Structure 1
Amino acid sequence: MYPSALRNNVVLTAPAEPVNPNAKRLTGVDLYSRFALAGALCCAITHGALTPVDVVKTRIQLEPERYSSGMVNAFRTVIKEEGAGALLTGIGPTFAGYFLQGAFKFGGYEFWKKTLIESVGLETAQNNRTAIYLTSSAIAEFFADVALCPLEATRIRLVSQPGYANGLVGGFSRILKEEGVVRGFYSGFGPILFKQIPYTMAKFVVYEIAAENIYKAIGKSKDQMSSGANDAVNLGSGMIAGAAAAVISQPADTLLSKINKTKGAEGESISSRLVGMSKQLGVKGLFLGLGPRIVMVATLTAGQFAIYGRIKEALGATAGVDLAKQPSK
């Protein structure tokens, strides 16, 4: 077994040795690149699969007067007026954007968590694990958003303006040509930070706490349970985390959709646009589309953690660190 540190029933462990005693333990770039790949795949798969829900959520946010009868009727309206294919609008930038974002988010979270533990020391990390989760996820998400923002801007433009371009390459190229990098792709960087950083902080810390308490209630640790049972814990914890993250990040998500719908007036700053939009929308307006978004985010977050766990296992990337309290064996 790998060494483990135990103090006050808080455990920092590596999982059991692989079945093959000669298998090499992954470390460094070899390990964290696999975390990143697992994160990229889990985010791209889940966000891509939920593109229809995201299309409807975005339409509700941008045209509430037209889609005012709830999520189901919004689906019907889009299909009736534009055909079922409209529900897959923006799937290219969605898949590509969240592939990049997932790599930075999950790989970065694992990296920064380990870095902070080494920086503050094991005992301090154990006693302040919530702060470790929050800080690691916030740093990771910042870099993830730098990668995501141009593709998210392209997705929103395609969804909000049917016929704007024919897919990812066409939409990306047109925005770049007509508006440039900063104005075209990063006018929504502020909202995306205000949306994604609190979202990711809530997502990881609520997931970690929920999973810790579920294992505690069951009375078994991860390595005492089957892969299927651990999948169930990941799904349940992910659902709880996703719902919490959706509510916390909803106002910024609405502003992100609004600011990327059309380009701003000449000379108008991004901050003035955001302030004006917030005043115009009010509290109620900022939470438009919350129902569909809770459904979408809770579902995709549950799927992400389940898929992430399975892909890590398949890649042999199981040497991460765990600060959670473990049930006594």
Structure 2
Amino acid sequence: MMSNRRGRVEEFTAEYYGVCAAGGMLSAGATHLAITPLDVLKVNMQVNPVKYSGILSGFSTLCREEGASALWRGWSGKLFGYGVQGGCRFGLYEYFKKIYGDQLEDQSKGVIFFLSSASAQIFADVALCPFEAVKVRVQTQSSFAKGLVDGFPKLYANEGLYGFYKGLLPLWGRNLPFSMVMFTTFEHSVEMMYRKIIQRKREDCSKAQQLGVTCLAGYAAGAVGSVISNPADNIVSSLYNKKAATVMQAVKNIGLANLFTRSLPVRIAIVGPVVTLQWFFYDSIKMLNGLPTSGGLRRHLKDAELLGYEAAP
């Protein structure tokens, strides 16, 4: 554990988890806001694949029929919803990774990463779900609402509390596999780059090199996670836009092959850079607080030697 130096946050304290949650909130909210136009196109491609059949033609159709401002519909849901989700996802991941790492001493690192990311994502999606329900409708139904302020009361009036959470199960179906694969891929990518490519301890690398490792591992994590979670992402959009009443009906309507391929190119275009930037901002915030960049389990001696921190007894 880091010494409690002046101006630095001590790891595994309440302040540490607060920094992680704040870093996750700022990084996720800002990056998701920036790619709102791509998200608007993605959702419309999922809901109306005939009309929005490609990325360039889809943008052209949206701008021609609804104006350039249509590309920013749902921006508030992206900023606040994914900000809250990011705070829970990153902050709780660090918390659960320490808890499971200490309690499950006989388990492999991969098991710890899977359990930690899944536990964090369960809470993160409960926080995200109401924002996502409003956002998807705003993006695909131009007459529904302008944003969160008028969208929340309208959705509640029309569908009650159930309307905010009817997509929670498919949201878990999308985000749990994504989060588990994303965090595990990131962790193993960081380890591989320090061990096989750089062949130096993290503390012996410059800040730029450490953030470079973070970005490369983040992109790999985002790309792999996109492929895994694409079927559930299509189901979520179908349910929220009343194209189907149940998950099974949505699967039948979309088709098994289309679940994996529909909107996948635009999702990879969105998720890869977004996850990369999230990890970059997140680790930058940690470094500003005197914390090491992300990656590794403290109870593993090899991790401690590789990443440059004191091994747990």
* Same fold at TM > 0.5: yes
User: How far off is 1:221 after superposition?
Assistant: 2.0
Q: Residue by residue, what CA displacement relative to the aligned partner does 1:275-297 show, whole Å, maximum 9, x if unpaired?
A: 11101211232131000001111
Partner of 2:169: 190
User: How far off is 1:321 after superposition?
Assistant: 7.6
Matches within 5 A, 1:248-267: 248-262=228-242
Partner of 1:171: 151
Cα distance change of structure 1 residues 118 and 72 upon mapping to structure 2, 3 Å threshold: same
Q: 2:212, 2:157 → 1: CA distance?
A: 47
Which amino acid counterpart does residue 37 of structure 1 have in structure 2? Answer: A
User: How far off is 1:144 after superposition?
Assistant: 0.4
User: How far off is 1:262 after superposition?
Assistant: 3.1
Given that 1:133 and 1:201 are in contact with CA atoms closer than 8 Å, whether structure 2 keeps it comes out as yes
User: How far off is 1:118 after superposition?
Assistant: 1.6
Q: 1:144, 1:24 → 2: CA distance?
A: 24
Which amino acid counterpart does residue 284 of structure 2 have in structure 1? Answer: R
Does residue 70 of structure 2 align to residue 86 of structure 1?
yes
Which amino acid counterpart does residue 294 of structure 1 have in structure 2? Answer: I
Given that 2:22 and 2:87 are in contact with CA atoms closer than 8 Å, whether structure 1 keeps it comes out as yes
Partner of 2:262: 288
Q: How many residues align?
A: 301
Q: 1:237, 1:283 → 2: CA distance?
A: 30
Given that 1:101 and 1:148 are in contact with CA atoms closer than 8 Å, whether structure 2 keeps it comes out as yes
The one of 22, 38, 47 equivalent to 2:32 is 47
The one of 80, 103, 110 equivalent to 2:87 is 103
User: How far off is 1:320 after superposition?
Assistant: 7.6
Runs of 4+ in 1 over 3 A off after TM superposition: 20-24, 315-321, 324-329
User: How far off is 1:315 after superposition?
Assistant: 3.3
Given that 1:93 and 1:152 are in contact with CA atoms closer than 8 Å, whether structure 2 keeps it comes out as yes
Q: 1:58, 1:161 → 2: CA distance?
A: 11
Given that 1:219 and 1:328 are in contact with CA atoms closer than 8 Å, whether structure 2 keeps it comes out as no
Which amino acid counterpart does residue 296 of structure 2 have in structure 1? Answer: D
- Please give the root-mean-square deviation of Cα atoms over the aligned residues, in Å: 2.1
Matches within 5 A, 1:1-329: 14=1, 25-68=10-53, 70-121=54-105, 124=106, 128-182=108-162, 184-216=163-195, 217-262=197-242, 273-286=246-259, 287-318=261-292, 322-323=296-297, 325=303, 326-327=305-306
Q: 2:20, 2:307 → 1: CA distance?
A: 28
Q: 2:281, 2:288 → 1: CA distance?
A: 10
Q: 2:295, 2:43 → 1: CA distance?
A: 37
Identity, % of aligned positions: 33
User: How far off is 1:318 after superposition?
Assistant: 4.3
Cα distance change of structure 1 residues 226 and 63 upon mapping to structure 2, 3 Å threshold: same
For normalisation by structure 2, the TM-score amounts to 0.90
Given that 2:190 and 2:217 are in contact with CA atoms closer than 8 Å, whether structure 1 keeps it comes out as yes
Cα distance change of structure 1 residues 52 and 103 upon mapping to structure 2, 3 Å threshold: same
Counterpart secondary structure, 2:255: helix
Q: 2:122, 2:47 → 1: CA distance?
A: 26
Given that 2:214 and 2:293 are in contact with CA atoms closer than 8 Å, whether structure 1 keeps it comes out as no
Cα distance change of structure 1 residues 145 and 29 upon mapping to structure 2, 3 Å threshold: same
Which amino acid counterpart does residue 173 of structure 1 have in structure 2? Answer: P
Q: Identify unmatched segments of 5+ residues in structure 1.
A: 1-13, 265-269
Cα distance change of structure 1 residues 288 and 263 upon mapping to structure 2, 3 Å threshold: closer
Given that 2:73 and 2:146 are in contact with CA atoms closer than 8 Å, whether structure 1 keeps it comes out as no
Partner of 2:311: none
Cα distance change of structure 1 residues 155 and 23 upon mapping to structure 2, 3 Å threshold: closer
Cα distance change of structure 1 residues 33 and 24 upon mapping to structure 2, 3 Å threshold: closer
Given that 1:157 and 1:262 are in contact with CA atoms closer than 8 Å, whether structure 2 keeps it comes out as no
Q: 2:8, 2:290 → 1: CA distance?
A: 10
Cα distance change of structure 1 residues 22 and 79 upon mapping to structure 2, 3 Å threshold: closer
Cα distance change of structure 1 residues 250 and 319 upon mapping to structure 2, 3 Å threshold: closer
Which amino acid counterpart does residue 17 of structure 2 have in structure 1? Answer: Y
Q: 2:307, 2:276 → 1: CA distance?
A: 27
Counterpart secondary structure, 1:64: coil
Greater mean alpha carbon deviation, residues 102-111 or residues 215-224: 215-224
Q: 1:24, 1:281 → 2: CA distance?
A: 49
Q: Residue by residue, what CA displacement relative to the aligned partner does 1:37-71 show, whole Å, maximum 9, x if unpaired?
A: 11111110111111111111111111001012x21
Greater mean alpha carbon deviation, residues 101-110 or residues 215-224: 215-224
Counterpart secondary structure, 1:180: helix
